[in-house]
Structure 1
Amino acid sequence: MRPDYDPLDDPPWAMQLVVRAEKASPPSHGAVCEAAATAVVELLTDPRAADPEGEWAEAVRQWESRRIRKVTRRARGVRWPEAQEPPGVTVDVNGAEVRALVPGPVAEVPPQIAKLQVAGLDLPDDEEPEPAPEPPYAALALNPGVSITTGKAAAQCGHAAQLLLRQGAVPDVTAWIEGGLRVHLVRDIAWGRCVERATVAVRDGGFTEVPPGTMTAIAWIVR
């Protein structure tokens, strides 16, 4: 038996995140991170997931009772409209389109996305990042001391936004939801200052790219 085996994680489940990455006009790294985080929380607050009787509620409950996994894939051309077929939520944030699919067992990925590439999504960042939106919004920050691809960063930002939604102070989270679930990737504040402000922190499971326990992303709500 593997030393990291967890019976509560058997079988493992994951939320699939599909990033539209056309060759001619790929989105930026930062925009993909913001869109991924937005898609995750929009799915989790959708009545189909948030209502205990909603059609997605049981799948979300099953997923959140295990290790929280997200898998980022990329799609282009005809693969992008095909990725819209499985149930989920698609968002467009600053030119980046990301679809979050309803979670399911990793061994039962919908056929429309099963062959989409997982590894290797690494995109350039904006020369001039978008300014922060009007509050309330969720501020996310990625650890500058950790080198990860855009695909990995998108998943980590999705984790951070999910933790913030579930663990943030109720008045802050309520204001964030009512304000439209806006998300902003912070890049103009020193990491140490971001850590001081953070409400939640993501410590990676170590399945890809970084060692287990690495703090990859943090988040807090700005009101």
Structure 2
Amino acid sequence: MISERDAAPQYVLPLVVRIEKAEPPARTDALETAARAVLAMLGDERSTGDGTWAEPVRAWQDGRIRKVVRRARGAEWRRAGALPGVTVTGHRAEVRVYPPVPLDGWPKELAKLQVSGTDLDDPEPVPPAPDDGTPVLWLNPALEMSAGKAMAQAGHGAHLAWLGLSPADRAAWHAAGFPLAVRTATPDAWPTLATAGLPVVRDAGFTEIAPGSPTVASDHPALRR
């Protein structure tokens, strides 16, 4: 039986990460920047009320809140930057997020960009521990994901955290610039995180991993109060 959510018109949130050959961003930097880009779209005044993006954002959130990350460099990135959206920067990473579009309605400037091949590495094997009080998006250590897939999952984890917060906590997070960290949980810690009552992303299984796989646990301090 098709659910009401699946029967609704389906939209997708496009994200484009800048990956120049000579200076690609670090993997964790790209994941964190993608997560903040999703939050920037959700918190943008154009996405709420009578804003110019409010209607597609509502239609997107009424469905499966899909997110797809594509990559661009050089002239591709400049063309992508000319479309309405928001660019979020990390340490070196740059991610541009756009208002949701129908699954088959991507702008031609974005439709031609590649999804696969988004492979990034961290300069250190293990990123440093997050500062105390920082919201953390914990990745499932049992899953292997490309950087592009992990970016989409981190964005989804940030989205679920946003939905679980009160308006006051959302406003405070927004005002602070959406600080967050993305880290891979240890095998010992993951079962507790996944069953602690925190929002957990379960992948739809369209790419790379099996349907229903838990990918991210969203650990925002306000969600533990």
What is the TM-score normalised by the length of structure 1?
Answer: 0.89
1:176-187 correspondence to structure 2 within 5 Å: 176-187=173-184
Cα separation, 1, equivalents of 2:30 and 2:175: 23
Q: Which amino acid is 2:39 matched to?
A: V
2:5–2:64 CA contact under 8 A, matched in 1 = no
1:214 matched to 2:213? The reply is yes
Residue 60 of structure 2 aligns to a residue whose secondary structure is helix
1:85–1:112 CA contact under 8 A, matched in 2 = no
1:148 matched to 2:154? The reply is no
Which deviates more, 52-61 or 111-120? 111-120
1:138–1:176 CA contact under 8 A, matched in 2 = no
Cα separation, 1, equivalents of 2:74 and 2:19: 9
1:106-125 deviation per Cα after TM superposition (whole angstroms, max 9, x unaligned): 21111111110011211112
Unaligned runs of 5+ in 1: none
Q: Relative to structure 1, is the Cα distance of residues 180 and 74 closer, same or farther in structure 2, using a 3 angstrom cutoff? A: same
Q: What is the match of residue 48 of structure 1? A: 46
Q: Relative to structure 1, is the Cα distance of residues 53 and 148 closer, same or farther in structure 2, using a 3 angstrom cutoff? A: same
2:140–2:184 CA contact under 8 A, matched in 1 = no
Residue 74 of structure 2 aligns to a residue whose secondary structure is coil
Q: What is the match of residue 18 of structure 1? A: 16
Q: Which amino acid is 1:74 matched to?
A: R
Q: Which amino acid is 2:200 matched to?
A: A
Q: Relative to structure 1, is the Cα distance of residues 25 and 154 closer, same or farther in structure 2, using a 3 angstrom cutoff? A: same
2:138–2:219 CA contact under 8 A, matched in 1 = no
Q: Relative to structure 1, is the Cα distance of residues 188 and 214 closer, same or farther in structure 2, using a 3 angstrom cutoff? A: closer
Q: How many angstroms does 1:151 deviate by?
A: 0.3
Cα separation, 1, equivalents of 2:172 and 2:13: 25
1:50-96 deviation per Cα after TM superposition (whole angstroms, max 9, x unaligned): 2x110000010011111111111000111111111222111111211
Q: What is the match of residue 109 of structure 1? A: 106
Cα separation, 2, equivalents of 1:169 and 1:195: 22
Q: What is the match of residue 30 of structure 1? A: 28
Unaligned runs of 5+ in 2: none
Residue 108 of structure 1 aligns to a residue whose secondary structure is coil
2:140–2:215 CA contact under 8 A, matched in 1 = yes
Residue 201 of structure 2 aligns to a residue whose secondary structure is strand
Residue 44 of structure 1 aligns to a residue whose secondary structure is helix
Q: Relative to structure 1, is the Cα distance of residues 111 and 141 closer, same or farther in structure 2, using a 3 angstrom cutoff? A: same
Q: Relative to structure 1, is the Cα distance of residues 133 and 178 closer, same or farther in structure 2, using a 3 angstrom cutoff? A: farther
1:13–1:106 CA contact under 8 A, matched in 2 = yes
Which deviates more, 86-95 or 35-44? 86-95
What is the TM-score normalised by the length of structure 2?
Answer: 0.88
CA RMSD in angstroms comes to: 2.3
2:33–2:89 CA contact under 8 A, matched in 1 = yes
2:56–2:100 CA contact under 8 A, matched in 1 = yes
Identity in percent: 41
Q: What is the match of residue 160 of structure 2? A: 163
Q: What is the match of residue 205 of structure 1? A: 204
1:104-143 correspondence to structure 2 within 5 Å: 104-127=101-124, 129=127, 132-133=130-131, 135=133, 137-143=134-140
